[in-house]
Amino acid sequence: MKKHIAWLLACLLVSPFQIILAEDGSRLWLRQDNGTQTEIVVPKTSPTLNLAAGELRRAWQGNPVTLVLKADKRMKKEAFTLRQTDGKVIITSPSEVGLLYGTYHILRLQATRSLSEITEVPVTCSPSYDLRLLNHWDNLDRSVERGYAGKSLWEWDELPLHVSDRYAEYARANASIGINGTVLNNVNASAQILSPEYLEKVKVLADIFRPYGIRVFLSVNFASPMQLGGLSTADPADKQVAGWWKRKVNEIYRLIPDFGGFLVKANSEGQPGPQDYGRTHADGANMLADALKPHKGVVMWRSFVYSPDSDDRAKQAYKEFVPFDGQFRSNVIIQIKNGPVDFQPREPFTPLFGAMPHTAQMVEFQITQEYLGFANHVAFLSPMWKECLESDTYCRGANSTIARVTDGSVYPQSVTAIAGVSNIGTDANWCGHPLAQANWYAFGRLAWNHELSSEAIAREWVCQTYGTDPHLQALDTLLLASREAVVDYMMPLGLHHIFSFSGHYGPGPWQTMPGGRPDWQPPYYHRADSIGIGFDRTTAGSDAVSQYNEPLASQYNDLRTCPESLLLWFHHVPWTYRMKSGRTLWDELCLHYDTGVKQARRFQTLWDSLQSYVDAERYELVKQKLIIQTRDAVWWKDACLLYFQTFSRQRIPLDVERPIHELEPLMQLRFRIGNHENAPLILN
């Protein structure tokens, strides 16, 4: 009876002409469950094929489907072919997991009303990358570094005896978008993850994920032989150290035969590494690679390194890694953040991409929104990732894009990979913000096919998550405009890293830390003074431009040809400099901040227009999040413009909304993310 009352109340909260049941978002984009009794033919019984058949019986409404296993040396193992013949849909693949991917694909086509794409002419779908990985920054105490959706999914204290139903749900969601690997723990790794006790727990997760085609990887602490093995050193040149790693790797593979390998953060932000012993990144990575190679495991060695005495943090990765090109083992992949500083709302691409022709490279994106408003702001990140993937490095002339560099098209790689830092937690809707699910989805789809457009991905996600009513295309519009709006109201025109110290949430361009590292302080990046603003990375400044190939180096070096979206990244620009619009830099900066605020308000209007087409529960949660986002956008605009105005001494243009705050109170704000909903608590 109570359930019926709740159902009626939910109906009353939406349009009187339409019944939409309330949802908590836990079903993600996998909401089809009204299949018919269509004939499903599978080649045999197995855990993976049983999953595929089950998905079709649950949701498929079309013609009979036949799954065919067929060896084909011309196809990647996970690829599949679709065709329709004699009134039947035929999915063919060299592997069982390929058939599972094909199953999810036709269900996606059904949900988006695109089944006409299945024709008599066979169409092959093949992944862009061999390894398509989520990186979880989850700690063993179940806290999540840069996580904004509750605790870690992994209930380490309960494993291996108690197994959460969410583990299989997680694997299903990932398989549906083509993700085939997961790094379970934080890159700031505890050595304890390699203990026998924890490896038994990891084995349970690996066994659950295996039928879905998902392999488990672990982040490892380079000092594990000391912290766990009792050795006096972790020197990669020490035979005892190398021996310890080989024994540990063998132990892992006895438990988990399809274990994927290690992710390593070394000699970065205080983490131990080979440089502690006068060795190189190549020395450290190769020692681990040698231990993994007999088992076909890989080492993903992160290039995120920087030192407090660097003249420009953005140059550090290039300087440390390029000299060792060709010295890494074939099963080592250098994992490179999309931008040279740290997942900023907008950065140029890292110049390391394409600069090591004899070393495998992979891109690391951040799905969780560390610098884009956490789980409070809607920021659809596919346009950001496409911006990176489509950037031309010119490492072998034109069309040497980052996508082609990392997928093995420009330089051959024995294995290709892409990674995204997860935004998943224990919240019912998985990601804290219902619309943040779109970023998890988008990463998987781009990892499978980096040629997909952001528009196509947004349309897919909206259709599967909210429905195909034409009115819902307004949600596509909101998503596609959202990342640029965040850039505008936070850090337009190439500004970067001017966040509050308190968790990278609110504005803090004025903040300094007496005696602290310069590169942890916002003034290091914006360098505002009475003349102008911006970081001079030209040949007359830090010379970071010289790490880029021509014609980019010259383009970025010249104030007149540098893209205005990156202007303050590469140049210290006078406040009175005339932009392409004819406005001064100061007026243009003001206009961008104002535009960002207006977009945030527009998002509220767009979402309000969808009330009759979205269930009440998700509608209300997104509505509240957009209220927070708009408030935050005004904070950012007022704080930055009032602060930078103390240097520019320029008037805010009359067509820009007047600040509603005063600078001094804003400078006293401290942000702490303390409650479950991740709304900022303001501490005076």
Give the CATH number for residue 408: 3.20.20.80
DSSP secondary structure letter of residue 652: P
Pairing of strands 123-125, 80-85: antiparallel
Tell me if 167 sits within 8 A of 424, measured CB to CB. no
Tell me how far apart the alpha carbons of residues 321 and 29 are, in angstroms, rounded to a whole number. Answer: 40
Mean pLDDT within 150-166: 98
Q: Would you state the structure tokens that stand for residue 615, as one six-digit string? A: 């269930």
Per-residue pLDDT band for 340 (boundaries 50, 70, 90) equals: very high
Same domain, 234 and 298: yes
Last residue of a domain, one of 99, 125, 151: 125
Q: DSSP H helical segments within 357-472, as ranges?
A: 382-389, 402-406, 437-448, 454-465
Give just the sign of the alpha carbon dihedral 153, 154, 157, 162.
positive
Same domain, 461 and 501: no
> Angle 561-564-566 (CA atoms, 0-180°, nearest 5)?
100
Asked if residue 190 is part of any domain, the answer here is: yes
CA–CA distances in Å: residue 673 to residues 374, 636, 680: 10, 17, 5
pLDDT of residue 669: 83
Tell me if 520 sits within 8 A of 491, measured CB to CB. no
Per-residue pLDDT band for 677 (boundaries 50, 70, 90) equals: very low
Phi, psi for residue 95 in degrees, rounded to 5: -135, 160
Cα distance between the two ends of the chain: 48
pLDDT of residue 676: 39
Same domain, 209 and 347: yes
Same domain, 514 and 419: no
Domain that includes residue 652, residue range: 486-535+572-683
Q: Would you state the structure tokens that stand for residue 168, as one six-digit string? A: 């299989």
C-alpha 123 chain-centroid distance: 29
Tell me how far apart the alpha carbons of residues 238 and 570 are, in angstroms, rounded to a whole number. Answer: 43
Q: Would you state the structure tokens that stand for residue 156, as one six-digit string? A: 């380490």
Same domain, 261 and 281: yes
pLDDT of residue 672: 62
C-alpha 186 chain-centroid distance: 15
pLDDT digits (tens, 9 = 90+) for 267-325: 999 999 999 999 999 999 999 999 999 999 999 999 999 877 778 999 999 999 999 99
Tell me if 360 sits within 8 A of 335, measured CB to CB. no
CA trace torsion 356, 360, 365, 370 (10° rounding):
-70
CATH of the domain at 101: 3.30.379.10
Strand partners, 83: 90
Same domain, 93 and 193: no
CA–CA distances in Å: residue 66 to residues 42, 44, 73, 79, 132: 6, 11, 21, 16, 27
Tell me how far apart the alpha carbons of residues 506 and 632 are, in angstroms, rounded to a whole number. Answer: 8
Per-residue pLDDT band for 372 (boundaries 50, 70, 90) equals: very high
Tell me how far apart the alpha carbons of residues 208 and 214 are, in angstroms, rounded to a whole number. Answer: 9
pLDDT of residue 515: 82
Residue 515 three-state SS: coil
In the block, which residue shows the tokens 């500004």? Answer: 495
Total count of domains within the chain: 3
Same domain, 160 and 101: no
Nearest Cα neighbor of 372 from 521, 487, 524, 479 is: 487
Phi, psi for residue 65 in degrees, rounded to 5: -120, 135
Q: Would you state the structure tokens that stand for residue 324, as one six-digit string? A: 């060792």
Per-residue pLDDT band for 680 (boundaries 50, 70, 90) equals: low
Nearest Cα neighbor of 308 from 139, 497, 516 is: 516
Check whether 362 has a pLDDT greater than 70.
Answer: yes
Asked if residue 548 is part of any domain, the answer here is: no
Asked if residue 561 is part of any domain, the answer here is: no
Tell me if 209 sits within 8 A of 172, measured CB to CB. no
Tell me how far apart the alpha carbons of residues 551 and 400 are, in angstroms, rounded to a whole number. Answer: 13
Nearest Cα neighbor of 262 from 249, 244, 275, 276 is: 249
Mean pLDDT within 471-491: 98
Same domain, 216 and 186: yes
pLDDT of residue 308: 73
Same domain, 461 and 498: no
Q: What is the mean pLDDT of the chain?
A: 94
Check whether 613 has a pLDDT greater than 60.
Answer: yes
Check whether 421 has a pLDDT greater than 50.
Answer: yes
Q: DSSP H helical segments within 402-526, as ranges?
A: 402-406, 437-448, 454-465, 473-490, 523-526
Same domain, 286 and 335: yes
Nearest Cα neighbor of 547 from 394, 365, 328 is: 394
Asked if residue 26 is part of any domain, the answer here is: no
pLDDT of residue 306: 84
Tell me how far apart the alpha carbons of residues 387 and 506 are, in angstroms, rounded to a whole number. Answer: 25
DSSP secondary structure letter of residue 272: -
pLDDT of residue 15: 37
Tell me if 350 sits within 8 A of 342, measured CB to CB. no
pTM over 0.75: yes
Tell me if 361 sits within 8 A of 322, measured CB to CB. no
Per-residue pLDDT band for 501 (boundaries 50, 70, 90) equals: confident
Last residue of a domain, one of 125, 152, 183: 125
Residue at 405: amino acid letter: V
pLDDT of residue 11: 37
Give just the sign of the alpha carbon dihedral 269, 270, 275, 281.
negative
DSSP secondary structure letter of residue 576: T
Tell me how far apart the alpha carbons of residues 339 and 491 are, in angstroms, rounded to a whole number. Answer: 15
Tell me how far apart the alpha carbons of residues 311 and 524 are, in angstroms, rounded to a whole number. Answer: 10
Tell me if 511 sits within 8 A of 545, measured CB to CB. no
Q: Would you state the structure tokens that stand for residue 71, as one six-digit string? A: 């060896």
Asked if residue 192 is part of any domain, the answer here is: yes
Q: Would you state the structure tokens that stand for residue 592, as one six-digit string? A: 């961008």
Strand partners, 301: 264, 334
Tell me how far apart the alpha carbons of residues 75 and 67 are, in angstroms, rounded to a whole number. Answer: 16
pLDDT of residue 678: 46
The helix, strand and coil proportions of the chain, stated in percent and rounded to the nearest 5, come to 40, 10, 45
Residue 263 three-state SS: strand
Q: How buried is residue 241: exposed, middle or buried, by Cβ count under 10 Å (0-12/13-18/19+)?
A: buried
CATH of the domain at 653: 3.90.1330.10
Same domain, 101 and 115: yes
pLDDT of residue 552: 98
Give DSSP secondary structure letters for 35-75: -----EE-SS--HHHHHHHHHHHHH--SS-EEEEE---TTS
pLDDT of residue 9: 38
Asked if residue 23 is part of any domain, the answer here is: no
Asked if residue 48 is part of any domain, the answer here is: yes
pLDDT digits (tens, 9 = 90+) for 564-585: 999 999 999 999 999 999 999 9
pLDDT of residue 434: 98
Q: Would you state the structure tokens that stand for residue 214, as one six-digit string? A: 């998902």
pLDDT of residue 513: 87
Tell me if 31 sits within 8 A of 624, measured CB to CB. no
Nearest Cα neighbor of 26 from 457, 432, 623, 463 is: 432
Same domain, 196 and 89: no
Catalytic residues: 269, 342, 370
pLDDT digits (tens, 9 = 90+) for 193-223: 999 999 999 999 999 999 999 999 999 999 9
pLDDT of residue 673: 58
pLDDT digits (tens, 9 = 90+) for 509-519: 999 988 888 88
Q: DSSP H helical segments within 561-668, as ranges?
A: 567-570, 585-608, 616-648, 663-668
Last residue of a domain, one of 125, 147, 165: 125
Mean pLDDT within 141-162: 97
Asked if residue 560 is part of any domain, the answer here is: no
